[in-house]
Amino acid sequence: MEMLIDKIHHRTATVGIIGLGYVGLPLLIRFGEAGFPVLGFDVDSRKIDALLHGKSYIKHIPIEPVSRFLEEKRLDVTLSFDRLSEADCILICVPTPLTEKMEPDLQYVLTTTETVARHLRPQQLVVLESTTYPGTTDEVMLPRLQQGGLKVGEDFYLAFSPEREDPGNKSFHTGNIPKVVGGVTRQCLERAAALYEYAVTRIVPVSSTRVAELTKLLENIYRSVNIALVNELKVLTQRMGIDLWEVIEAASTKPFGFTPFYPGPGLGGHCIPIDPFYLSWKAREYDFTTRFIHLAGEINVSMPYHVLEQTIEALNQYRKCLNGAKILVLGVAYKKDIDDDRESPSYAIMELLLERGAVVFYNDPHIPRLKPGRKHQFRLESVELSEDVLREMDAVMILTDHSSYDYAWIVEHAPLVIDTRNATKIVKEGREKIIKA
């Protein structure tokens, strides 16, 4: 039997990727471009069908490389997990959400691990990329993978390498973002690092899977805490009559010791609103309370309520009440210029508006219709953005600052604009109609 390390160096090792979403699909493309045979797995038949027919279901990820790899017979995508034994390296990119009680939900990791365990054979590498708490790889995955008698570090290899995707970022992508890798044993690390070296420009090896797991959490906790800080300052500075965005811009001129973070209507995406609570939960095992994480979470979760209060106050100035008011939401993606709406604060705000009797419409050039999700059950379609539509509204709320929006034109025709992103900062005419929230 040819050793795995030799297959990797000869690029004959088949790379199997489980989960073809925002993390798995770019990874599939990178390994295909690196010359490896690739096998993609997903439980969603719509994704598999789309890829086989040359259609992309994630706007910012090009479909051309996938179609080329399929045509060249260097890639196959499948619903059949019985084919896992064909893969020499198995990369797991499945969701790690929270339960309603804000506790880690590892059901997808557990199910996937058990599936992999049933097909595990000698000389396979398994790598978890899904964000999780320290100890998941060696405490949760390892015992299940060793149940069949294979020994880690000798018969098979297990590692953790956190995804660092930033959808829509034009400067950084899977290939040029440094890759942190931690193995259960030295042999595991060597093989995982050897594999990723062919797909990314820099490998950052660490001493254990736990270090790698906590590295990812630290990155997102850092952002969560700093965003909470500026969100709290936003509430204060609005009472003080100071423009916080101007303050941040001025502070950003300091060439050292300051990194700008910006306030908004709340946190969105698959990482920052969720990942910090994975560490908070794990910390309880050590009789430790992560106070900063909890406080940051409270502040960030409160932002949709702050936006609601600012909207009610702004309508009152026009002698209108929220009950019955027509509100147009601009942007439901969690960040600008992408079609990713996971955990978007726009949904929380829309739900609050509806609960208080508002009539809610939305426009998002990247998301033509809303589908029921884990928390929200919206069934709406994006309305056309026209002068007539803007004039009909009692207020227009900018919740995602897409580049395609003409903010001067929006302010010109809307009776009232609630700006949560400072998107109207260069608009000169009609500033009396703009309320920062």
Active centre residues (catalytic) = 271
Instruction: Kindly state the tokens that stand for 90.
Output: 């198995």
Q: Dihedral sign, CA of 27, 29, 33, 38? A: positive
β 89-92/124-128 pair status: parallel
**CA 190, CA 178: separation in Å to the nearest integer?**
16
**CA 248, CA 261: separation in Å to the nearest integer?**
8
The residue ranges of DSSP E strands in 378-420, in sequence order, are 395-398, 417-419
48 half-sphere exposure, CB direction, 13 A CA radius: 16
In the three-class reduction of DSSP (H, G, I as helix; E, B as strand; rest coil), residue 124 is classed as: strand
β 179-183/156-160 pair status: antiparallel
> What is the SS3 string spanning 298-330?
HHHHHHHHHHHHHHHHHHHHCCCCCCCCEEEEE
Q: Which residues are CB-contacts of 422 (< 8 A; sequence separation ≥ 6)?
A: 245, 262, 401, 436
Which string of b and e fits 301-319 if b means at least 16 CB within 10 Å?
bebbebbbebbbebbeeee
Burial of 416 (0-12, 13-18, 19+ CB in 10 A): buried
Q: Which of 115, 142, 103 is nearest to 42 (CA)?
A: 115
**CA 181, CA 129: separation in Å to the nearest integer?**
10
Q: How many residues does the chain have?
A: 437
**CA 309, CA 431: separation in Å to the nearest integer?**
20
434 DSSP β-pair partners: 417
In the three-class reduction of DSSP (H, G, I as helix; E, B as strand; rest coil), residue 225 is classed as: helix
Instruction: Kindly state the tokens that stand for 335.
Output: 């960040």
Instruction: Kindly state the tokens that stand for 395.
Output: 């207020």
End-to-end CA distance of the chain: 63
Q: Which of 280, 60, 27, 41 is nearest to 161 (CA)?
A: 27
Q: Which of 394, 382, 292 is nearest to 346 (CA)?
A: 382
